[in-house]
Amino acid sequence: MNKNLDNYNAALRWRYATKSFDPSKKIPQDVLDGLLECLRLTASSFGLQLWKFLIISNPEIRANLLAPSYSQSQVVDASHLIVFCRPKSFDPTMIETFVNQTASTRNQSVESLAPFKEYMDKATQNPSFPTEKWMDNQLYIALGNLLSACALAGVDSCPMEGFSKPKYDEVLGLENDNLTAVVACPIGYRLESDKYASLAKVRYPLEKVVSFLK
């Protein structure tokens, strides 16, 4: 197999949803910067990047998130808590902003992107378009990307949906910024005593989850 894939698979076997983080271990700034760059480079539908990643190290804010996280201690003990947010409501100016960014990045005129813009407008304005679910989905791609990047960097992580979204929104004051929390991920370093680290990974065999259609 390809050496990079070997390393990647080894990293994915090493990672696990960490339950106990060592509160004394902090992620070095250069490693954090590298992880955030991975988040920034995440693929998204149409490339719209309808997200905001909140990186929370402040202990008071995190203490206030403990109860809304059903007392999952990762939220306070990990080096950093990342909360993946999306716009609470979508509005078409978000497409316009992205078209302008594309035009300036690629030295194109905004007019030349009109068909692309129209295509996105039409899709997102269709009454059956699942706007909120679609925005949520993008954040799960970012979450997956972060989990893999952490694994490669030797940083522990715990994907987390087990929290009250309305309470997170309230504690973090997200509504004022037209944002809402979708998923969270504490990142840092495991406590050696975390018994979950040594549990065998439960995954179905390849033939159960993959079918080759010929």
Please tell me whether residue 168 adopts helix, strand or coil conformation.
Answer: helix
Cβ proximity to ligand FMN, 34 vs 162, nearer residue: 162
Q: Give the residues lining the site for ligand FMN (CB under 6 A).
A: 16-17, 19, 72, 158-162, 183, 201
Closest contact distance (angstroms) between CB of 15 and ligand FMN is: 7
84 vs 98 by CB, closer to ligand FMN: 84
CA distance 123 to 202: 39
CB 181 within 8 A of CB 172: yes
| Closest to ligand FMN by CB, 95 or 186 | 186
Number of residues that this document lists for the chain = 214
Question: Do 38 and 149 form a contact (C-beta atoms < 8 A)?
Answer: yes
8 A C-beta contact, residue 15 and residue 147: yes
- Minimum distance between the CB of residue 160 and ligand FMN, rounded to whole angstroms? 4
Q: Which is nearer to ligand FMN, 78 or 179 (CB)?
A: 78
CB of 10 vs ligand FMN, minimal distance in Å: 14
For ligand FMN, give the closer residue by CB, 161 or 177: 161
Tally Cβ neighbours within 10 Å of residue 72: 18
For residue 79, give the nearest of 25, 29, 30 by alpha carbon: 25
Give whichever of 72 and 79 is closer to ligand FMN, judged by the CB atom. Answer: 72
Backbone angles phi, psi at 160, to 5 degrees: -140, 120
- Contact residues for 20 (Cβ-Cβ < 8 A; gap 6+): 73, 74, 77, 190, 191, 193, 194, 196
Min dist. Cβ of residue 202 to ligand FMN (A)? 7
Residue nearest to ligand FMN (CB): 162
Dihedral sign for Cα 166, 169, 171, 177, please. negative
